[in-house]
Amino acid sequence: MNNSADAHSRHRCAACYRQFNRMEHLVEHMRSSHHSHHEPHCGVCGKHCRSLDALRVHLGFGASLPSKPACATAFQAHGCPLCLAVFPTTSALRAHCAACKLSRAPIPSSVQSLTRTMSRMGVRGGGGAVALGCKMVGGGSDGTLDVCARVCIVDEQEAILYESFVKPLIPVTHYRYETTGIRPEHLRDAPTVKQAMRRVQDILLNGEQSYSYSSRGAARLLVGHGLEHDLDALGMDYPAQLKRDTATYPPLMKTSARLMSNSLRYLTRSCLGYDIQTGGHHHPYDDCVAAMRLYKRMHAMSHVHLHGRPKDDDDESTAKAFPTWRQRELERMSPEELLAMSKPDYRCWCLDNDRRC
């Protein structure tokens, strides 16, 4: 009986606690699952989850039944519903929640005058990250083609570096006024898309002549939600290693057989504790601030790791960590040793710490 229990323990994944009949099956699971200390994990039992949504299911959020009732009970007593951290006492939880739950940032009343002041500072300011948000109007015969008509960039302190209406290159057939608040007169004397793109590039380059990426690189990290869509609307591109997209970051995506994006509105409600895009005219400043706050929260998230501070795992994939020619050696390792070798299939934002110093 004890031998059977030991075998099950030896064949259990140290991350997701899934049981396997044979050690070779566990090794194959580690090879394909990309478990690592960067994953969201339960603060009660330590189970790793692919995304925050998967962790919410584990803890019994909403209508779902918890996969482990003991974790759900402990979390209800001492867990933060936003960042999903667990605290030892009610007073510690109360103090944390006061800072964790954010409120909607007021849109500056005089955006244009603030932009004229901040944009000059933004071009050759410090490094770090900026958030981009665009509002689209409709082009084409049926008004379904998205064209950029307003752009906003904020820094990590939520100050506006650049904000402007944008004059599209093609005729606007649907202004989508109910949500954008944009009228024809707003675009009549606005900068062209190419002029707005140059201003955005100046801010992103941060005084450099070309994009560079290093631990002390000058070019800024670009944060946003659906960045490819916004950049395409501006007619520009940006290096993938400098983009931080809350729509495609695995811990923020939906839990399913195939990862799908959550809306920015849902992520802001579930992770930050307030609502955006609830009605009336939507300002891109709201989207920029929400994306930046999500980035900063994920960037600061603590991780379970075995040997001090996490290292940058970009140069070594999980496939390289579990080569088939080492199969026999891998099968002799413990589940904990296998987990220590495993690498994520995405770059965790906590690794931006050095770059933002």
Confidence of residue 8 (pLDDT cuts 50, 70, 90): low
Q: What is the mean pLDDT of residues 214-219?
A: 61
Average pLDDT, the chain: 85
Please determine, for residue 328, whether its predicted confidence score (pLDDT) is greater than 80: yes
Please determine, for residue 115, whether its predicted confidence score (pLDDT) is greater than 80: no
Please determine, for residue 294, whether its predicted confidence score (pLDDT) is greater than 80: yes
Q: Has domain 127-300 been given CATH number 3.30.1330.120?
A: no
Rg (CA), the chain: 23
Please determine, for residue 110, whether its predicted confidence score (pLDDT) is greater than 60: no
Q: What is the mean pLDDT of residues 340-356?
A: 83
Give the list of residues 6+ apart from residue 120 with CB closer than 8 angstroms, or none: none
Domain segments of the chain as ranges: 12-100, 127-300
What Å distances lie between residue 145 and 176, 237, 289, CA to CA? 12, 19, 26
Q: What is the pTM of this model?
A: 0.88
Which of 328, 257, 262, 250 lies closest to 51 in space, CA to CA? Answer: 250
Please determine, for residue 317, whether its predicted confidence score (pLDDT) is greater than 80: no
Phi, psi of 11 (to 5 degrees): -95, 15
